[in-house]
Amino acid sequence: MTPFDYDFLRKCLKERSGLVLSADKQYLVESRLLPVARRAGLNGLSELVTKLKRKDTEALMTTVVEAMTTNETFFFRDKTPFEHFRSTILPALMAARPNSHHIRIWCAAASTGQEPYSLAMALKEMEHELDGWRIDILATDLSAEVLEKARQGIYSQFEAQRGLPIQLLIKYFTQVGEMWQIAPNIRSMVKFHQINLLTDFAHLGMFDLVLCRNLLIYFDQAAKVDLLERLARVIYDDGYLILGAAETVVGLTESFRVLSDKRGLYAPNLRQPRAVPGVGRHAPRLVTVAS
């Protein structure tokens, strides 16, 4: 692959997904896109780039973007956000919603589903406390391929065990050959939807909690600021934002404030005009946790 080919791919990936690749990441592009080129019957990345420059290759471009933006994930990743969810976020939201008994959660970069399903299992473990509550979980991703896997909820032995306590594996999964499938009652708690976070997502409605973890690290400064500002507009004034362990709002936006002693957890900055909880909750129903 020539430097010109690499520059072309870097430009396409940034425009389509926000992914910013430095000049020394050519090896990563080659490792992920050579299989794409071979499946397309091409002899290498130079031929792939030549084909992508044509006007009738949108499907191939989508495949390239998805191959480059499929990121690592696993159940209960990093643990701390899920501890915050159980001990801080959910109790605070329940106390603040005594009339509506309704909480909306958005996993904005859901990949193959481990994050939203981890939340769903955590909620299911608390179902007696949540009796009468409606908890909606929306999970989105850029890649149609990973979302389809997420909907099926089928994972390899390695994926199923990675980060997942053995008691939850036994309780919520069924072995299917050499694979493990998450139980239907957990799958039904999550609604999946394909979306590009570089585009407008206001139509999704307002949320009480948004998880956007391990995505900003791939964006440049301008894209980070833009996404955070737009996320602020879809989170209720007493809601929460969770970012990845290596991410922060500090130095990027005044729309969120850091919550002390709560790593990765942020709240909307109340100095700005904010939405009122319970107003404008007209988004379509997704799922109900409590049975």
- Give pLDDT tens digits for 13-60: 888 888 888 888 888 888 889 888 888 898 888 889 998 988 777 888
Provide the CATH number for the domain around residue 228.
Answer: 3.40.50.150
Q: Is residue 74 part of a domain?
A: no
Could you tell me the residue range of the domain that residue 183 belongs to?
A: 80-268
pLDDT of residue 61: 85
If pLDDT is split at 50, 70 and 90, which confidence band does 282 have? very low
Q: What is the 3-state secondary structure (H, E, C) of the chain?
A: CCHHHHHHHHHHHHHHHCCCCCCCCHHHHHHHHHHHHHHCCCCCHHHHHHHHCCCCCHHHHHHHHHHHHCCCCCCCCCCHHHHHHHHHHHHHHHHHCCCCCEEEEEECCCCCCHHHHHHHHHHHCCCCCCCCCEEEEEEEECCHHHHHHHHHCEEEHHHHHCCCCHHHHHHHEEEECCEEEECHHHHCCEEEEECCCCCCCHHHCCEEEEEECCCHHHCCHHHHHHHHHHHHCCEEEEEEEEECCCCCCCCCCCCEEECCCCCCEEEECCCCCCCCCCCCCCCCCCCCCCC
What's the structural domain count of the chain? 2
Residue 271: the pLDDT is 54
The reply to whether 40 and 161 lie within a common domain is no
Per-residue pLDDT for 160 more than 60?
Answer: yes
Pair (58, 89) in one structural domain: no
| CATH code: domain of residue 21 | 1.10.155.10
- Do residues 99 and 36 share a domain? no
pLDDT tens column, 56-104: 778 888 888 878 876 678 999 999 999 999 999 999 999 999 999 999 9
Write down the pLDDT at residue 70.
66
Identify whether 146 is part of a domain: yes
Least trusted range by pLDDT, from 25-39, 167-181, 270-284: 270-284
Tens of pLDDT along 200-240? 999 999 999 999 999 998 898 999 999 999 999 999 999 99
Both 100 and 188 in one domain: the answer is yes
- pTM (two decimals): 0.82
Q: Return the pLDDT at 274.
A: 45
* Average pLDDT of the segment spanning 243-249: 93
